[in-house]
Amino acid sequence: MNRTALVTEVLERLKRVLPVTDRPIALHEPTFVGTEWQYVKECLDTGWVSSVGNFVDRFAAELASFTGAKYVIPTVNGTAALHTCLKLVPIEPGDEVLVPALTFIATANAVSYCGAIPHVVDSAPDTLGVDPYKLGDYLADIAEVTVEGCINRRTGRRIRALIGVHVLGHPFDVDPIQTICRRFRLDLVEDAAESLGSYYKGQHTGTFGTVAALSFNGNKTVTTGGGGAVLTNDATLAARAAHLTTVAKQPHAWRYDHDAIGYNYRMPNLNAALGLAQLENLPSLLVQKRTLAARYQAAFADLPGVEFVAEPVFAKSNYWLNALRLCDATDGVRDELLEKTHQAGILTRPLWTALHRQQTYQDCPRMALTTAEQLATEVINLPSSAHLGGSNE
């Protein structure tokens, strides 16, 4: 099938899945069908709109219950949560942190905020996350474990941690990644920004590493408008996270004494109220999203050269963003498809520009990134709002 014919066929199949509408179909937009108005109004009526209020505590408790994490510390956004996670490890200036090439740039930015260096690693084709087998071979070649930790023989710097990203909501293969982290004395930090409602072998993402970060941006399955959270099972780290995210203020009724360089990363009560209402509907949102994913998968099952990106066999995904992989496609087909879908009011997008192609990270240490580079040219994200998984009559 030539390029034009393939693009036309993909577009027609998308139209069969998606509803007929007189406005563009967004990539991902929030669904407000519950108590959002009631809870937000309560904040306005009582005046508790800022970083203190009962909705923050309730939101944290519900998140802990849903994910199985022992401790949840809400933050102002997902990047703040990830930055806090790295400070807890702790990542020190001059450390290297292993970061996948295919991720939103905030993952690497959080490393830079610590004065550390992102060390870019390759992706696995089945999960889009870190490839544990390539990574294990690579570290065996370039690193050695000493009393000071894992040392990069090429740079002389300490490799302190690995950030594993659950890309598009699909869990990465946790077991072999944990084995690598133990072997090379690395802390595992989970960037679970996209994976609320996703499970690896029955356990919720964000509960495997030393710490994890969630995001509740407006385009996530559950939104607080802007927000995030730190997850951990370590009581000491949880207390430290709560302290650092409240500008390291020592408890006192009126004094403002601070014992560390902290951050104003607290989630406002207003945002938490919105998030709590969203969490109440999360199970139904996840059902709708999986219904939509099943429709996409069925629609493209018999189209040669096009593969729906399905959840790994060991995982249950929230299908935050559905995706197609244009396998072995002729040059230019992805970009033409992006153009044609946008012209048709279907707001698709490619994956992120790979980290080592970003101007700010071109000179970072990296392994061979053959799979990540290939995926970056082949994967296209499809409209994935939960409401699209409702009736398609």
pLDDT in tens, 44-63: 999 999 988 899 999 999 99
Q: Is 103 exposed, middle or buried (0-12, 13-18, 19+ CB in 10 A)?
A: buried
- Written as six digits, the tokens of 98 are 């292993």
Alpha helices in the chain (DSSP H): 3-17, 36-46, 54-67, 78-88, 106-113, 132-142, 174-183, 235-244, 269-280, 282-299, 333-343, 370-378
Percent of the chain with pLDDT over 90: 95
Domain 3-32+282-389 class? alpha beta
- pLDDT above 80: residue 1: no
Model confidence band, residue 330 (pLDDT cutoffs 50, 70, 90):
low
pLDDT over 70 (residue 186):
yes
- Is the pLDDT confidence value at 392 over 50? no
Pinpoint the residues of the chain covered by CATH 3.90.1150.10: 3-32+282-389
Given a cut of 80, whether residue 105 has pLDDT beyond it is yes
Residues of the chain within CATH 3.40.640.10 domain(s) are: 36-280
Query: Global pTM?
Result: 0.96
Q: Give the burial string for 55-87 (b: 16+ CB within 10 Å, else e).
A: bbebbbebbeebbebebbbbbbbbbbbbbbbbb
Spatial distance between the Cα atoms of 336 and 342, rounded to a whole number of angstroms: 10
Q: Regarding the domain delimited by 36-280, which CATH topology (the fold level of the hierarchy) does it fall under?
A: Aspartate Aminotransferase; domain 2 (3.40.640)
Would you say 14 and 306 are in contact if contact means Cβ atoms under 8 Å apart?
A: no
